Amino acid sequence: MYLTYKDLKLKLHPQVYEPAEDTFLLAEHLKVRKGDIALDVGTGTGIIALLMAKKAKFVLGVDINPIAVELARENARINGIKNVEFRVSDLFENVEGKFDTITFNPPYLPGEAEELKEPIDLALIGGKQGREVLNKFISQVRDYLRPNGMVQVVQSSITGVEDTIEKFIKLGFSVEITAKERYFFEEIVVITAKLDESS
C-alpha cells in the first residue's frame, strides 16, 4: 500500500502510523532552512524527515518502532533521498550531536502501559495523561539543539497546548503557534519553539 504526498511516494505498513491530518499540518509548515542539520523524532514512515532532506544538509530520523525505521529507510530508497539516516531510538536514547531543527509528532492519546500491545500503539498512546512522552521530549530537547536552534511539535488540544508552550518558555525558548486546524473533536496546532542564543 502506498501514499503519494507532493512528489514523495511512501510505502505504508499496518504497524506504522500512517500520515494523517497532524502529519500534513506539520509538513505544510516546516521551517527547516537550507543547510540545516535536522532531527525528526518519531519518524514513522519517514515523511517529515524526507521532506526536510530536500532543504537540509542532513536529516536523522528516529523511531522507537523498528518496523517504522525499516519502512522509513525503504521510503528513502524509493525516493532516491540519500542525505538521511534512520535508526531505532526511544526519543534521544540513540542520538548524539546537536541539530538546527528538531521535529516531533508525539503520541497523545491517554492510556496505560498495558495497552501498549502492538508497535503501532507506541505512536498513539502518550502515557497516562497522554502527554508523558511529550513532557520527556521537552525536558531533554534543549541538550540536542545548536545555538539558535528550533523545535517544531505538532499537538492536539486534547493534551494541553498551553502546558507545552509554558514548558518551552520556562526552558528559555520563544514560542509561537505556527498553524492550527480544527477537527470535529480537537484542534491540531504546530508549535514552533526557538532557542534564543542569549538564554
pLDDT tens for each residue of 38-77: 999 999 999 999 999 999 999 999 999 999 999 999 999 9
Least confident residue range of 73-82, 115-124, 187-196: 115-124
Strands 2-5 and 8-11: antiparallel
The top-level CATH class assigned to 2-155+183-195 is alpha beta
What mean pLDDT is reported for the chain?
Answer: 93
Q: What is the pLDDT of residue 173?
A: 96
Short-list 69, 118, 111, 127, CA closest to 93: 69
How confident is the model over 141-156, as a mean pLDDT?
95
Q: What is the pLDDT of residues 151-175, one digit of tens each?
A: 999 998 888 899 999 999 999 999 9
Predicted pLDDT at 193? 97
* Packed helices 132-141 and 161-170: angle between N→C axes, nearest 10 degrees: 20
